[in-house]
Amino acid sequence: MKKAIIFILIGAALIAGVIATGSYGLSEDNIHIYEQAVALEKGNSNLGFEGFAMTDYPVAFYDGDHDYVIVWENGGYNIVKRKAVINSIAAAAYCVDGHYEVLAPAVEKMSSLLKMMTTGSAEYGREECVATLWHEAFHCWQLTNYYDNIEAICSGEAEENLIAEYADTNPQAVALFERQAALLENAVKTDDIDMIREYIAEYKKLDEQRKALFSGNITALEEYYTRVEGTACYVEACVYQMQLPEKFCSAYIDHISEYGKGSNKYYKSGMAQCMILDTLNPQWKESYDFSEPLINLIYQELGLACESLQ
């Protein structure tokens, strides 16, 4: 009997220890990330996109079991725990109960995923996480305000496998895209308008050749990623630059010309087009409604004749 009591007491002590040392709720790291993201908004408002406010959209951090939803209200925030909406490690703008929310993995989750996938060579810290929140919040804003214009770019689901099936397997298209991306990178890296015009004129010629290789579906899909993801990637890059200016070029600019399979290359070329527009006309985004290809705006700014690419 005495031994049984001792055994039960040991168990009770262990259970108490486990409960006492456990961490519950959203970790401080994630809360700091949200606060850091909000602080950037206070300093820089909307990055030039009229009506865009990161704090308009709840941010749900997924910790592997639950979502912790942070809602900004009256100059402060509330955190609510709920059942995970998508139960998956994904950063996304997601419609929940009729409004868009930012879904993001908790930084610990994302960090361990990246460490596993890159055997520790890639880092995903606070700054990257803050930039991701802005990227997804921008999608929330796009979808809340310009849903019809975005739908019009590419009807139906944006099926990334079409890119892999057609664009990435056509050597001529790959070669042309690589040359185009290199021209965009050069244009981003210079402030000389004449040089930019020269690069973009060459880009335009190559673009016409490349588009002739594909059906309208592929072109529309590429345009969707360039316009919708490219602008969000641009927002992400701006936010990253505000936090880590010394790492900005190596993280975002120096890789524009690198070809990668899948849709990510369009994110980069769309971002590059936004940056070129910043050089040509910093007010371009005040009234941008996603109905026009970014490259058309560049052609217009440079006085290069263009035909409709839609």
Partner 1 sequence: MIIAFTSFKEKIRRKELYLVSVTGVLILLIFGTGSGSLTINGEAVTDYKSLAPILLIVINAISCSLAVVMNIGTIPNEYERKTSHLVWIRKIPQCRYHGELTAANTFSGLVSEAILFLALFIFMISHGRSGELWRLLPAYLMIGINVTIVSVMTSAFSILIPRLVSGTISAAVMLMGIFHSLLSLLKDIIGGFGGEIVRYALKIIPNLHGIQTQAVNVLCNKSIDVHMILTGMLAVYAFAALIFVLKRKEA
Give the nearer residue to partner 1 in terms of CB position, either 88 or 291: 88
- For residue 81, the minimal CB distance to partner 1 (Å) is 17
The verdict on 7 binding partner 1 (CB under 8 A) reads yes
| Cα gap 45→49, rounded to integer Å | 9
Q: What angle do CA 28, 34, 40 make, to 5 degrees?
A: 135
- For residue 89, the minimal CB distance to partner 1 (Å) is 4
Give the nearer residue to partner 1 in terms of CB position, either 11 or 282: 11
The verdict on 23 binding partner 1 (CB under 8 A) reads yes
Q: Figure out which of the listed residues 1, 21, 75, 303 binds partner 1, where binding follows CB under 8 A.
A: 21
The verdict on 18 binding partner 1 (CB under 8 A) reads yes
| Cα gap 67→121, rounded to integer Å | 28
Q: Figure out which of the listed residues 47, 113, 174, 306 binds partner 1, where binding follows CB under 8 A.
A: 113
Strand partners, 76: 73
The verdict on 25 binding partner 1 (CB under 8 A) reads no
| Cα gap 139→181, rounded to integer Å | 24
Interactions with partner 1, residue window 182-201 (CB under 8 A) = none
Give the nearer residue to partner 1 in terms of CB position, either 113 or 309: 113
Q: Figure out which of the listed residues 6, 9, 11, 250 binds partner 1, where binding follows CB under 8 A.
A: 11
- For residue 111, the minimal CB distance to partner 1 (Å) is 11
The verdict on 119 binding partner 1 (CB under 8 A) reads yes
The residue ranges of DSSP E strands in 2-58, in sequence order, are none
Over the window 73 to 112, marking each residue x when it contacts partner 1 by CB under 8 A and - when it does not, the resulting string is -------------xxxx---------------x---x--x
Strand partners, 93: 102
Tokens 């993001």 map to which residue?
104
CB 289 within 8 A of CB 149: yes
Structure tokens at 138: 């921008």
Strand partners, 99: 96
Query: How many residues in the chain?
Result: 310
Give the nearer residue to partner 1 in terms of CB position, either 23 or 161: 23
The verdict on 116 binding partner 1 (CB under 8 A) reads yes
| Cα gap 242→257, rounded to integer Å | 23
CB 22 within 8 A of CB 65: no
Give the nearer residue to partner 1 in terms of CB position, either 112 or 190: 112
Q: 124: closest CA among 47, 133, 92, 233?
A: 133
The verdict on 51 binding partner 1 (CB under 8 A) reads no
Give the nearer residue to partner 1 in terms of CB position, either 116 or 212: 116
Structure tokens at 265: 């290359």
| SS3 state at 65 | coil
Structure tokens at 62: 């997924």
Query: Which residues contact partner 1 by CB under 8 A?
Result: 7, 10-11, 14-15, 17-18, 21-23, 62, 64-65, 86-89, 105, 109, 112-113, 116, 119-121
